[in-house]
Amino acid sequence: MITPDEIRTKAARLYPQVVAAWLRDEEIFPRLIPANLETSKLISEAITQQQALRAHSKAARGYGYSLRMESRRSRDYGEQDFPTAVIFDSRDDLLKLIGKLGEFQRLTKMVNEIRLRQPQLKSWTESNWKRLIGLEGELSQLLDVVEYLQDHPRPGCFIRELPLAISTKLVEEHTNILAPWLDELLPADCVDFGFDRHHFAARYGFRSVDDQLWIRILDPTLQIALRCPGGELGLPITTLAALPVEQCEIILVENKINLLTLPPLAKTLALGGLGQGITQLFRIEWLSSLPIKYFGDIDVEGLRILAMVRDRWPQTQSLMMDRQTLDAYSHLIIPGNRHAPDLPVPVELTPDEAAAFIACRDQQLRLEQERIPQFVINQFIAGF
């Protein structure tokens, strides 16, 4: 026969269904709990089992499960009341038994606040209610942030400068909650989808501390035109974006040392040293109108960055990032990261680049930029 502890375990498993039903305004109580109610043939054991069930039932405790009983005559026990069903009469009966009544009440209070202030989040709430647990003291402030950004999209200030009575760390600590809300609630032109949700500030128009980007001006006449004090500079992205760059070619370089060893080139500006942070360049508007070459490692990660860059700037060409280069310098290849064999080839890659991607993915290969002799790189770039 089922025990009180087993009933409690079954009830706890029902908790997500209980919440989901409430969110959809569905009634699922009274709720029958599937249970083995077969009585032991040993009369002493059978009596003990039934007494335990009754002692922990709603009739004895005031909440929890109810027992549906039926009087039957048994050859072994004579006239006795036997349990025929275990039932939870109400939601509160189940929640009290599993110790979730308080949590459920807090959750419903938060959901009702979201429904009142941001009804468009109904679908998100139904799918993500577990993420609200523990936010009771902060939910109202997070909704304040959302409402402020609805009224003042892309504010151009640091997050801590929001004119709201909130903790300075609140937004940073809950970007995983705010990002899907803002994607749903803000007009599409107020979200820069070129940045993923991990780049929260850039995606939603906040100021952020810029990383220093290394630049090399490979043509002295271009240095004069840009009024730069030197040919090698480290600049914040915002400062770089403000430069009057036009009528020149751009080389984006993944590796800082390779950037600093590029040969002189007429009307060419080289940027680099960001690696996976290449998306920070998406804020530089003048890149959209200039010829771009990308020079990165030949491995899965490097080729995916190339694809990301080309998706943003379709005019991008790669430098020495194809299967021919991989084969020519096979003696310089080192082991790459392991990737799933079904990892898709980015559609932005050319056939030669895609062939290199497949080889690196399937054979775990990596050919790093700095392993290729400098004179080879210089010759290739000069003749490109």
Structure confidence by residue, pLDDT tens digits, 14-40: 999 999 999 999 999 999 998 877 765
pLDDT digits (tens, 9 = 90+) for 160-177: 999 998 887 899 999 999
In this predicted model, what pLDDT tens digit does every residue of 205-252 receive, in sequence order? 998 876 678 899 999 898 888 888 888 888 888 888 888 898 899 999
- Residue 259 near residue 270 (C-beta atoms within 8 A): yes
Percent of the chain with pLDDT over 90: 64
Nearest C-alpha neighbor of 347 from the set 302, 291, 293, 308? 308
184, 124 Cβ separation under 8 angstroms? yes
Strand partners, 17: none
Where do we find the tokens 């050319």? 350
Question: Going edge to edge, which strands form the sheet with 78-88?
Answer: 31-33, 78-88, 66-74
Q: Residue 78 pLDDT more than 90? A: no
CB distance 321 to 300 below 8 Å: no
The lowest-confidence range among 189-203, 264-278, 361-375 is 264-278
Residue 70, pLDDT > 80, answer: no
Query: Which CATH number is 212-383 given?
Result: 3.40.1360.10
| Amino acid type, 263 | P
Lowest mean pLDDT across 20-29, 173-182, 367-376: 367-376
Q: What is the pLDDT of residue 77?
A: 59
pLDDT (0 to 100) of residue 13: 96
Angle 373-377-378 (CA atoms, 0-180°, nearest 5)? Answer: 115
pLDDT band per the 50, 70, 90 thresholds, residue 138 = very high
% pLDDT > 70, the chain:
94
Task: For residues 201-205, give the mean pLDDT.
Answer: 92
276, pLDDT greater than 70: no
Cα–Cα distances in angstroms (integers) from residue 298 to residues 322, 334, 372, in the given order: 7, 11, 11
User: Cα separations (Å) of 256 from 121, 220, 267, 272, 354?
Assistant: 44, 20, 20, 6, 25
pLDDT digit string (tens) for 326-342?
A: 999 999 999 998 988 88
User: Is the pLDDT assigned to residue 303 strictly greater than 90?
Assistant: yes
Q: What's the confidence (pLDDT) of residue 79?
A: 66
The residue behind tokens 């491995």 is: 299
Sequence ranges of the domains in the chain: 4-99, 104-204, 212-383
